[in-house]
Amino acid sequence: MERFGALIIDSITSLGDFLLFLMNAGAYVVLPPYKPRLAVRQVRIIGADSLLLIVLIGAFTGMVLGLQGYNTLRRFGSEGALGTVVALVLVRELGPVLAALMIAARAGSAMAAELGSMQASEQIDALTVMAINPVQYLVSPRLLAGVISFPLLTSVFDVIGIWGGYAVGVGLMGAPGGSYLNGIAQNMTGNDVTTGLYKSLVFGVVVMWVCCYKGYHAQRMATGVSRATTEAVVLSSVLILASDYVLTSLLL
């Protein structure tokens, strides 16, 4: 019984820690002293270095959508709507979610591992003793970089995906090309685009927050770092999809 009670208390304490961590890191993004160079470096690591992966996944996703979409729409004689379908699905849903999952798996896990091994080798303690706030120095730049990178990468994903859908649906399967592109122009609204971008912003915060937290609080042993990395990716993924539902119902 006592152990159960202790478990509940520990869970609530951890949750509180988790939230405070985000508030702390977020505060330091806007409070001086500013360290723009650190944020720029993180944008390169999280954003620019993930570009190739995003292009690849975006292309394949678009291509599959083109294929599946064409097959399904043909049953109703609505091949002309392919462009609309591919574009809306990507921009509203798959773009933000898949891009976030990919970045979490790649950059997020690396971040958790890096912070985890810094914690294990006392580098974070070293910062503290030098009167430098480790959260401000390590986490805030990453948070800011996430907010900048995620929407940009999502946009790239969307565009590449739409072209992938075109390549397969129109080029390969023979759907009408003019309708594909016109459909998008006529049926996509600003709201669709902003929905997708808001989602990617939220995902950016969530992924950076979770991965930095897990790495920062890794246990100081070899298994500690690997466990932190795994938990970071798993928790990021779960939270991406859970918040996706919440955001979709709010923004719809």
Partner 1 sequence: MAGANHNHQRGRNAIEVRELRRRFDRQQVLNGVNVDCPTGMITTIVGPSGCGKTVLLKHMNLLLRPDSGSVVIDGDEITRMRGRELDRVREKFGMLFQAGALFDSMTVRDNVAFPLVEQTRLRPAAIEAKVKETLAAVGLDGVGRKYPSELSGGMQKRVALARALVREPKILMLDEPTTGLDPTRISAIHTLVRETQQKFDLSAVMVSHDVPDVFEISDRVAFMHDGKVHLYGTVDEVMNAHDERFEHFLKGKAEGVEHELGPGR
The residues that touch partner 1, with contacts defined as CB under 8 A, are 118, 121-123, 125-126, 128-132
Residue 52 or 129 having the CB closest to partner 1: 129
Closest approach of partner 1 to the CB of residue 108, in Å: 18
Residue 38 or 67 having the CB closest to partner 1: 38
Closest approach of partner 1 to the CB of residue 36, in Å: 15
Residue 123 or 187 having the CB closest to partner 1: 123
Closest approach of partner 1 to the CB of residue 121, in Å: 6
Using alpha carbons, list the distances in angstroms from residue 27 to 4, 41, 58, 205, 228. Answer: 35, 20, 34, 13, 24
Residue 9 or 132 having the CB closest to partner 1: 132
Name the nearest CA neighbour of 189 among 241, 100, 251, 243. 251
Closest approach of partner 1 to the CB of residue 41, in Å: 10
Using alpha carbons, list the distances in angstroms from residue 51 to 45, 47, 110, 205, 216. Answer: 10, 6, 16, 19, 26
78 CB burial (10 A radius; 0-12, 13-18, 19+): middle
